[in-house]
Amino acid sequence: MASLFTAVAVLAVLSGGLCEEKVFLQRAGEAFSSRQHRSLLTVSNGEKFGNWTWPEMCPDKFFAVGFSLRVEANQYGADDTALNGIRLICAKDENRGFLYSIESHTGYFGDWSQPQYCPSGVLTSFQINVEPHQGLFGDDTAVNNIKFRCSSNPTLEGPGTDWGEYGLWSQVCGNGGICGIETKMEEYQYGLDDSSLNDVRFHCCAKPQQENKSQLPTVPEVYSCQRSDCTATNQPLSGRPRPQDAKGE
């Protein structure tokens, strides 16, 4: 009986610890698609199949701090599709306890990877690994993998496949971060060659404006002097000396 009580107590302590570390992740979908963005981050090596789909945006004041990929592993002779989807994880400031996810349209093949996060800061630019068109009778996979760069400098690479090559980096979203995603997807081909994700672009949002110090109220000018030589200073009002009578004490 004593050992049973001990086991229950240990489980209670462990459960309490897990509750303290719990992270809430909520799917945002298109709920925040009206959020204003400053620019689009693009690359030039995306493939040609499919169409651009709908945007999904982080909530206001949230930015992408991590990502997860949906990847189909090597099919060894069957039809390969490689990278099928990109899911962004959005956070507000440095609070990683309550998160939103956005992903736009994704393909139907493969499994989602464990999320990767910037150690601090937000995602600011990206680079994609693309296999070029394989010809009429080839097996197209298009986008195979992606890298992100964080505002704190680390580069994160997804667990995608390695057919193709990385192209150039996108522009950098300075003074802000990635806040939205749009994907270019080839729809399911019903037994023909599927390439799934062909291209992606990300929305860049500015961070909320910091308080402008030039607009802060200035300390009023007061006088500090001994007898008649008074000069203007920015001393606090409390306890300030009063100007002396110029004719003497």
- Amino acid identity, residue 127? Q
> Would the pTM of this model clear 0.85, i.e. be above it?
no
The owner of tokens 């009063």 is 242
CA distance linking residue 22 with residue 226, whole number of Å: 64
Q: What is the DSSP string of 58-111?
A: PPTTEEEEEEEEEEPPP-TTS----EEEEEEEEEETTEEEEEEEE--S--SSSE
CA distance linking residue 69 with residue 81, whole number of Å: 13
Per-residue pLDDT of the chain (249 residues; tens, 9 = 90+): 445 444 434 344 344 444 445 789 999 999 999 999 999 999 999 999 999 999 999 999 999 999 999 999 999 989 999 999 999 999 999 899 999 999 999 999 999 999 999 999 999 999 999 999 998 889 999 999 999 999 999 999 999 999 999 999 999 999 999 999 999 999 999 989 899 999 999 999 999 875 444 444 444 433 334 444 444 444 433 443 444 444 444
